[in-house]
A = this chain, B = another copy of it.
């Protein structure tokens, strides 16, 4: 399910991108699936369809979606995605370091953090088919 918070200071477009990325990552939509049309999703979220179109386009540019005029929007299969190799590896590491930064700043115990991470990974594992 894709949801956004119109009261957040984070731009709707960014929220949408994140929500869709997350939905794909969690497997809620699979490769080849069609996403709601620009106008449909906009209506569901009560935002302007232009905002949805911009988010879809950004995700196409980053290789996650295939936006086809007159056809609709589709999730690309993993192997056809562009950035799998170079960029994404760096982005994952960056993400992990960001999490560690948060943990250290709040004085979290090293062991506690490790538990947290392993717990989240377990949930990931559990959700897998």
Contacts and interface: CB of A to CB of B under 8 A. Distances in A.
A108 interface: yes
Interface string A85-102: 100110111011111111
Identical copies of this chain, number: 4
- A contact face: mostly helix, strand, loop, or mixed: helix
Interface string A13-51: 000000001101111000000000000000000000000
Contacts of A6: 66, 68
Contacts of A121: 100, 110, 113-114, 117
A25 B121 CA distance: 23
A34 B22 CA distance: 33
Contacts of A120: 93, 96-97, 100
